[in-house]
Chain A
Amino acid sequence: MEKLNVLVVDDEPGICSGITRILSRYNVGFPFMDENIGFDVRETSTGEEAVTIIDEKVPDIILLDNKLPGMQGIEVLEYINKKNLDTVVLMITSYASLELAVKATNQGAHDFIPKPFTPQELKSAIESVTKHIFLRRMTRKLNKEGKQIRFQFLSVLSHELKAPLNAIEGYLRIMDERQAGNDLDAYNKIIERSLVRVRGMRNLIMDLLDLTRIESGKKKREVAPVNLTEVARLSIDTMGPIAIQKDVKIHFDAPGEVIMEADREEMEIIFNNLLSNAIKYNIEGGKVDCIIKREDDTVNVTVSDTGIGIPEEELPRLFQEFVRIKSDKTKHITGSGLGLSIVKRLTRLYKGEISVNSKPGVGSTFTLKFPGNSGI
């Protein structure tokens, strides 16, 4: 079993030996780790000695009391910071000195454990730190190997994929055990909701495929002169049924031909995403305007809606993956949270720019500017 080195710096012998006793018998395992991780604990009662030990070999984790006889804990933390050492510091502080704990976390301490703590509290703090260390190591290793795997992305993705599965599984279990008794309406609702979640998951997977294709660049892109007007018109036709359902009218304004060097499929993805958003987040009986224009050396595409709009504080996050604006108005709208991030990536691929203007309750306008001949 792999062991992490833990250094406990505390002038209370009881705390030191307590921590050693608990951690020497404790190990941490996560489903994503091959083997569990245990702990080797070393104790010291002064900040000075802690610095000597750290200089010899940097421990993986340092449990640091602030109130020490000579050099204070916060000074040890400063020392670690100054030398930019690769270690994770957990401050041990009494409840009375929470302010200090906050200061310490601002100075780079990973977390703090309020004293007095129970063995369980110590264990969960150590568990969280271990996970942090493990993920950091993996990320570094992967970066070194040139693998562009982003843990954040993968972990959020696993959440997004699991949520519908959990919902569907829950529903199946209810049906299996006839938990709703003889209430047929309840079963109908259960089936309907399960189907909605299945559809949502399928859309997510489709979006993911789009995204990975852009990401890896593996798929052969077929760049040729594409008539954007035609692509947009096709996309508007595709969106027809959902527009009708929502009683949203789509106005299209473009010259007969706007030719751009592009991969046709990628342009379809862009229009499909922008238009479906403009419909989905619109009001009943609303309007969508899609305009394509060639201006000097740029091709401009705007898609605007008369929908619910986006609060200003949400705008900076809008193009991030899995970001969905949560409000009463959006809660029944399904989406993977990937559409706009895909559009942004694609736009960048053509050295283009995307911007958004939005007013809650009035509507949103997305504007894309492509260099006329991106030469890609």
Chain B
Amino acid sequence: MDDKKKTILLVDDDEDYLFQTRLHIEQFGFRVVTAESQAEAEKLLETLKPDLAILDLMMEKDDSGFILAYKLKRKYPDVPVIIATAVTAETGMTFGVSTEEERKWIKADLYIEKGIRADQLHKEIVKLLKL
């Protein structure tokens, strides 16, 4: 394995999304580590410091992505976090009043829609990694 490759942590409970996104990101030339739940990701983060993390928003809980982002940033403030969600565009539901409180502690660097094209995702990753 090429050690100079940047490592991207990809967390999503949809195994199809995980499979496809992993394939794309590996083709961009990154190393990918995946987790299928918030709990699994938390475990991974105990020993792994990724160069960037892409987190699904709704996993075990509706706000798993936020909680994970918070914990990740607390441990590794310099690791950029992307939160991927399919909620907004598809359902028209926005993060309403109930989550305003959370704005204070949610520290994602970027929100993306899950339908984002591979080349767009590539661009965003490169931007956040400052490559």
Interface of chain A residues 103 through 158 with chain B (CB within 8 A): 105, 110-112, 128, 131-132, 135, 151, 155-156, 158
The residue that A193 contacts in the complex, of B15, B61, B86, with Cβ under 8 A, is B15
Q: Mark B1-30, 1 if CB is under 8 A from A, else 0.
A: 000000000000111110110011001000
Q: Which residue of B lies closest to A108 (CB)?
A: B97
A167 and B14 within 8 A (CB): yes
Asked if B36 CB lies within 8 Å of chain A CBs, one says yes
Question: Using a CB-CB cutoff of 8 Å, which residues 54-70 of chain B contact chain A?
Answer: 59-61
Inter-chain contact B14/A163, CB cutoff 8 Å: yes
Which residues of B in the span 65-120 have a Cβ within 8 Å of any Cβ on A? 86-87, 90-94, 96-97, 100-101, 104, 114-115
By beta carbon, the residue of chain A nearest B100 is A105
Which residues from chain B contact A155 at a C-beta distance below 8 Å? 90-93
Cross-interface CB contact of B23 among A32, A131, A179, cutoff 8 Å: A179
**B16–A193 touching, CB < 8 Å:** yes
Q: Residue A79 at the B interface, CB < 8 A?
A: no
Whole-angstrom distance between the Cβ of A67 and the nearest chain B Cβ: 19
Contact in complex: A162, B90 (CB < 8 Å): yes
Residue B39 lies at the interface, judged by CB distance under 8 Å to chain A: yes
Stretch at the interface among A3-11, A249-257, A279-287, A324-332: A324-332
- Chain B contacts for A132, CB-based, 8 A: 94
| B19 and A193 form a contact (CB under 8 A) | yes
Neighbouring A residues of B97 by C-beta, 8 Å: 105, 110-111
Once A and B bind, how many residue pairs between them come within 8 Å at the CB atom?
73
In the complex, what distance in Å separates the CA atom of A174 from the CA atom of B17? 12
Shortest beta-carbon distance from A141 to chain B in Å: 16
Instruction: Give the distance to chain A from B70, nearest Cβ to Cβ, in Å.
Output: 17
In the complex, A197 has a CB within 8 A of chain B: yes
- Chain A contacts of B59 at CB under 8 A? 326
Query: Does A331 contact B13, Cβ atoms closer than 8 Å?
Result: yes
- The docked-state distance in angstroms from the alpha carbon of A331 to that of B15 is 9
Interface size range on A against B? 35 or more
Whether A101 is near chain B, meaning CB under 8 Å from some CB there, is: yes
Any B CB within 8 A of the CB of A189: yes
| CA gap between A171 and B20 in the complex, in Å | 7
Whether A101 lies near B19 (C-beta < 8 A) is: no
A165-194 CB mask vs B (1 if < 8 Å, else 0) is 011001100100001100000100110010
Q: A32-B92, A101-B100, A180-B23 are in contact. Are A171 and B39 (CB under 8 A)?
A: no
Bound: A151/B61 CA distance, A? 23
Contact B60–A326 (Cβ < 8 Å):
yes
- List residues of chain A with CB within 8 A of the CB of B19: 189-190, 193
Which residues in A have their C-beta under 8 angstroms from that of B14? 163, 167
Q: How far is B90's CA from A177's CA once the two chains are assembled, in angstroms?
A: 26
In the complex, which of the residues A159, A170, A186 contacts B91, with contact meaning CB atoms closer than 8 Å?
A: A159
Q: Is the CB of A163 within 8 A of B91?
A: no
The distance in angstroms between the C-alpha atoms of A174 and B20, with both chains bound, is 8
CB pair A166 B114 closer than 8 Å: yes
Distance in Å from the Cβ of A113 to the closest Cβ of chain B? Answer: 11
Chain A residue with the shortest CB-CB distance to B90: A159
User: CB-CB < 8 A to A327: which residues of B?
Assistant: 37, 60
**Complex Cα distance A197/B59, Å?**
18
Q: Give bound CA distance, A102 to B104, whole Å.
A: 11
Docked complex Cα distance between A162 and B87 (Å) = 11
Contact B100–A331 (Cβ < 8 Å):
no
Enumerate chain B residues within 8 angstroms of A159, measured Cβ to Cβ: 86-87, 90-91
Q: Which residues of B contact A234 (CB under 8 A)?
A: none
Across the interface, which residues of B come within 8 angstroms of A167, CB to CB?
Answer: 14, 16-17, 20
Given A171-B20, A190-B19; 16 other pairs, CB 8 A cutoff: A131-B92, A155-B92, A158-B90, A159-B91, A162-B86, A166-B115, A167-B16, A170-B17, A170-B20, A179-B23, A179-B24, A179-B27, A186-B23, A193-B19, A326-B60, A326-B61
Sample (25) of A-B pairs whose CB atoms are under 8 Å apart: A98-B104, A102-B101, A105-B100, A110-B97, A111-B100, A135-B92, A155-B91, A156-B91, A158-B91, A163-B14, A167-B14, A167-B16, A167-B17, A167-B20, A170-B16, A170-B17, A170-B20, A190-B19, A193-B16, A193-B19, A326-B13, A326-B59, A328-B37, A331-B15, A331-B36
B interface residues (Cβ-Cβ under 8 A, vs A): 13-17, 19-20, 23-24, 27, 36-37, 39-40, 59-61, 86-87, 90-94, 96-97, 100-101, 104, 114-115
Please provide the 4 A-B residue pairs with the shortest distance between their CB atoms, ordered closest to farther.
Answer: A167-B16, A155-B91, A170-B20, A128-B94
